[in-house]
Structure 1
Amino acid sequence: MEKEASKIKNLVNEDAIDKFKELVKHESTCLLTTNLTQLPLNTRPMAVQKVCDQGNFWFLSGSDTDKNIEISKDPRVQLFFLNTSNYEFLSVYGEATITRDRAKIDELWTDIAKAWFEKGKDDPRVTVIKVTPIEGYYWDTKSGKLVSLLKIAASAVTGKTLQEGVEGTIAVK
């Protein structure tokens, strides 16, 4: 079954970055997957500290964690965002780099991050992970979860095909 062209909206450059920021504003926790060639996939929840104006995703992480070790061997990662309250979903494939840049740690630090670092932001284990997006795909409703559920119910009753949502590729070039 071919997808309707009106439901496909590919986003690039500024539109893609705006979409990243919008989704992270609603749901800052994602699943970060490393070691993409080994099954089962190594996936864990991570809090995005920031999406910058270049479209990069920024995280704080411990230098001794599996994810840091895996990224140092293979920088390819996949991020999965699920904002079920608004029916927004995003998958981003990208390349991760790890740094100990003090200015970036200071910029990204939050009180919640203290839970993972015994000595606070001065803990020698604190690192910053930057994920630079290479390609991705998003799914989004046009009207949010409640209206979408009502439209799904109406579609089921009337037998008419649901015309809800938009999806497409997403890339920062």
Structure 2
Amino acid sequence: MSTENLKQTEAILKLKELAEDIKFALMATDLQAKPAHVIPMTTKEVDEDGNIWFLSDKNSTHNQNILTEGFAHLFYSKGTSMEFLSVYGQASIVTEPAIIEKLYNKADDVWFEGVNDPNISAIKISPLQSHYWDTKNGIITTLFNLGLNIITGEKRDLGAQGELHI
């Protein structure tokens, strides 16, 4: 696997590609605790600055942890295509109606009483450190190339991994 550290625009594009394609992340908060508080979250968008956005209940444990600590760690995994992303970042709670309305869609009615639910908030994660693993070719091709590497000793490309410097 080659190392491709990406910066600025390229890093934001890779972060957006992976986070929005994988869609679901495990979000860890209260990072000093053992164990940390971890919950699944749905990525709503990655904006042009590389911030990752989620919707959440204002009274949730993870919101309270973010208000107290101000950091979160996200873990994305799409095993079927061998894509992975780890994002550690500054976390904040946003209650601006225009942002919530932009992020909200009909599927969110499962969790909230509509876009005007008084308990809805947005979570913004501003990446401080990010790392990705992307095989580019999916699991079958990657496993085939790995097998050929073992049998022949030849080094076939298994994909790329690296830091995302945003």
TM-score, scaled to structure 2 = 0.94
1:126 aligns with 2:125: no
Match of 1:30 in 2: 25
Q: Distance in 1 between matches of 2:165 and 2:105?
A: 28
TM-score, L = length of structure 1: 0.90
| RMSD of aligned residue pairs (Cα, Å) | 1.5
CA separation in 2, counterparts of 1:80 and 1:162? 27
SS in 2 for 1:64: coil
Task: Give the match for residue 151 of structure 1.
Answer: 145
Unaligned runs of 5+ in 1: none
Query: How far apart are 1:82 and its partner, in Å?
Result: 0.6
Does the 8 Å contact 2:54/2:124 carry over to 1?
yes
How is 1:94-173 mapped onto 2 (pairs within 5 angstroms)?
Answer: 94-117=89-112, 119-161=113-155, 163-172=157-166
Match of 1:50 among 38, 45, 54: 45
Deviations 1:100-154, CA, capped at 9 Å, x for gaps: 110001100011111111x211110000100000111111113222211211232
Hey, what's the Cα distance between the residues in 1 that align with 2:88 and 2:20?
19
Unaligned runs of 5+ in 2: none
Matched residue count: 166
Q: Distance in 2 between matches of 1:62 and 1:85?
A: 31
Give the % identical residues: 34
